[in-house]
């Protein structure tokens, strides 16, 4: 369960956001403190306002390699970073996310790997309009 969460104000699809090595994933508000993503539900320690959709910020360390996970993603690209690989993964929806994985997990481009969310701080934005 995340320790903290934050929801920011509205934004437009044309508003550029520079997150560095991060990306976003669509989520549906499914309760006062719950966001449903295609990788499972996220609990928020703060109430989630509204009734609709948000984009959740995902950093590479928020997505953990887990062979036992029911959620799979396809390796689209990888970059060796010494102790880690920075994988670009494609989710079932086509959304691309980044994951930082220990380098002893060397997966081929096109391979599907198990992943899960491990988010300590949920950051969500109202979905782009």
User: What are the domain boundaries of the chain?
Assistant: 4-11+19-126
Mean pLDDT computed over 29-56: 80
Domain 4-11+19-126 falls in which CATH fold? OB fold (Dihydrolipoamide Acetyltransferase, E2P) (2.40.50)
- Report the alpha-carbon distance of residue 7 to residue 48 in Å, rounded: 7
- Report the alpha-carbon distance of residue 47 to residue 64 in Å, rounded: 26
Res 7 pLDDT > 80: no
Q: What is the DSSP letter of 12?
A: -
What's the predicted TM-score (pTM) here? 0.80
**pLDDT band of 16, cuts 50, 70, 90:** very low
Question: What is the CA angle 2-80-57, rounded to 5?
Answer: 25
Higher pLDDT, 31 or 97: 97
Three-state secondary-structure class, residue 37: strand
Number of H helices, E strands in the chain: 0, 11
What are the pLDDT digits (tens) for 62-99?
Answer: 999 999 999 999 999 999 988 999 999 999 999 999 99
């Amino acid at each position: 369960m995340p320790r903290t969460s934050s929801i920011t104000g509205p934004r437009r699809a044309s508003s550029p956001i520079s997150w560095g090595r991060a990306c976003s994933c669509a989520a549906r508000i499914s309760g006062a403190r719950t966001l449903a993503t295609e990788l499972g539900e996220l609990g928020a320690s703060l109430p989630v306002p509204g009734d609709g959709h948000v984009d959740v910020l995902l950093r590479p360390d928020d997505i953990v390699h887990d062979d036992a996970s029911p959620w799979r993603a396809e390796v689209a690209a990888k970059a060796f970073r010494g102790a880690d690989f920075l994988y670009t993964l494609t989710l079932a929806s086509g959304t691309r996310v980044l994951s930082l994985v220990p380098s002893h997990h060397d997966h081929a481009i096109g391979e599907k790997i198990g992943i899960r969310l491990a988010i300590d701080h949920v950051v969500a934005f109202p979905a782009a309009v």
